[in-house]
Structure formats: structure tokens, C-alpha cells
Amino acid sequence: MNVRSTYDDVAADYDEWVGTEGSVLADPTFTELAGRVDGQEVCAVACGQGREARYLATQGAVVTGVDLSEKLLAIARLHEEADPLGISYQYGDAQTLEGLAADSFDGVVCYMALMDIPNLDDALYSMARILRPGGWFVVSVTHPCFKTPATGEIIDHVDKSVRRTVGRYFTEGYWDGPGLHRDALPIGAYHRTLSTYVNALADAGLVIDRMREPPLDRPVWQEVPCLLYIRGHRSTPIL
């Protein structure tokens, strides 16, 4: 899947969709895991139109945003022009982060994007490479256990409670349709098992410190988690 061309085709719709909660990310789970960032150099990988980059900058971080979509970056720069926060945006592939020096950031975030990236291992190795030893990272994805290639919802005929059904959990790879979006927006993703994510982080020298699976407003997402958040740190030299 050509992620760049797909998101370039729907950049305006995507900005409108994610912008419903404001131009700055409002996510208490991300806020908790990112913690205090004042004075730190932080890279927002696959930053899109810049919501998480803007949040980090409002907290005093020196932020560099990287994305593969030129049109989403153009929107991010328009937000920066309207409300300057000192964010630097640059075109780049999360799988290489070419042009970013090794050991150059205190923190790296990848917010709701790893499932859009074809090569998970390369993306995580690149994130680890640009982190300083001991530097922190926060990533979030649609939950690999409950947003699988075959999912649905059923209503209990007795108590009317809503339950999530899942299937094809072990079928890794690209698939269409992990969630409900505007019709114009891309809804495909790369499904991976939970163990694939955990093992890929370990292989990249990224150690998990905390995981969060917050409940969301929809009834079914009060029963099982829709999203998975991970915070950790770089522990080993990158070879």
C-alpha cells in the first residue's frame, strides 16, 4: 500500500476528521504516558497533520515532526503558521527516518500510526536509532486483539449488552477496514498480533515500561479496549 499517495488523496478530509477535538491533541492516556517534556527534544514520527506535535510543543518540548505525506505536512505547517509553537516539520519515511541523526532525541512518539506502516521492524529500529540511550518512547495503535481482520458487534438478546467478536487474529498483513471512518478516508491497516508488537520492540532495543488500554465512550469499548498505548525506553546500543 502506498501510504503517501493514499493520505495525500484525503488530507483535507483527514484533517477535518481528526480536528473535531481541536487542532491540539486531547488524549489523557497519551498525556499521562508522555509525562513532562519541558525542554526536551522530541520527534513525532508519522505526525500527519501534527496534533500530537502541537500538544508536545505546548508542554515546552522542542518538536520535530516527520511524515510521508506532503499534503498532511502542508496542513501541519499551516497550523504552525496560525499558532507558532516552534515545531519543525520535514518529509520522511518512518521506516528509515533518513536525515535524522542517531542519538539526537530525548523522546520519540508515534501516535496511532504504526499499524499504517508496512515494515514494523524498520520503523522501530529507526525510532530507536534516533533516541539517545535511555531516551523514552510512546506509541499507540488500534488494539491488535480487538481490531482484527474479522470483527463485529452483537447485542445480547436478554440484557441488550454489546459484545465484541473477533476473528482471523493470527492472519497478519494488510487488510481493509479496521474502523468506522468517513467514506473518503483510508481505513486499511497492517494487522499484527500483540506478541509481534512486543517482540519487535524488544528486537529494536526498546523496553516496555508501561501499557495502557483505556475504555472509550462507545458501549462495546467499555467492555474491551479499542486502543493500546505503550511507553518505554531505549536500553541498548543500536547496531
Does 1 score more than 50 pLDDT?
Answer: no
Indicate the pLDDT class of residue 177, thresholds 50, 70 and 90.
Answer: low
Q: Residue 32 is part of which domain span?
A: 3-142+194-234
Flag the least confident range among 51-65, 154-168, 179-193.
179-193
Looking at residue 30, what is its pLDDT?
98
The answer to whether residue 89 is domain-embedded is yes
User: Phi/psi zone of residue 97: left (φ > 0), alpha (ψ -120 to 50 degrees), beta?
Assistant: left
Looking at residue 67, what is its pLDDT?
96
pLDDT digits (tens, 9 = 90+) for 28-45: 999 999 999 999 999 999
Does 168 score more than 90 pLDDT?
Answer: yes
The answer to whether residue 48 is domain-embedded is yes
Residue keyed to cell 526498546: 206
Q: Which helix (H) or strand (E) holds 120?
A: helix 120-130
* Mean pLDDT along residues 214-218: 94
Decide: 17 and 185 in contact? Cβ < 8 Å.
yes
Decide: 138 and 52 in contact? Cβ < 8 Å.
no
Does 53 score more than 90 pLDDT?
Answer: yes
The answer to whether residue 174 is domain-embedded is no
Decide: 44 and 109 in contact? Cβ < 8 Å.
yes
Q: How far apart are CA 170 and CA 66, in angstroms?
A: 31
The answer to whether residue 151 is domain-embedded is no
Looking at residue 128, what is its pLDDT?
98
The answer to whether residue 149 is domain-embedded is no
The answer to whether residue 97 is domain-embedded is yes
Q: How far apart are CA 11 and CA 73, in angstroms?
A: 9
The answer to whether residue 159 is domain-embedded is no
DSSP 104: -
More confident call, 236 vs 102: 102
Cα-flanking dihedrals φ and ψ of residue 115, to 5°? -75, -10
Domain count, the chain: 1
Looking at residue 89, what is its pLDDT?
98
Indicate the pLDDT class of residue 15, thresholds 50, 70 and 90.
Answer: confident
Which is it for strands 62-67 and 41-45: parallel, antiparallel or unpaired?
parallel
More confident call, 152 vs 177: 152
Decide: 138 and 186 in contact? Cβ < 8 Å.
no
CATH of the domain at 78: 3.40.50.150
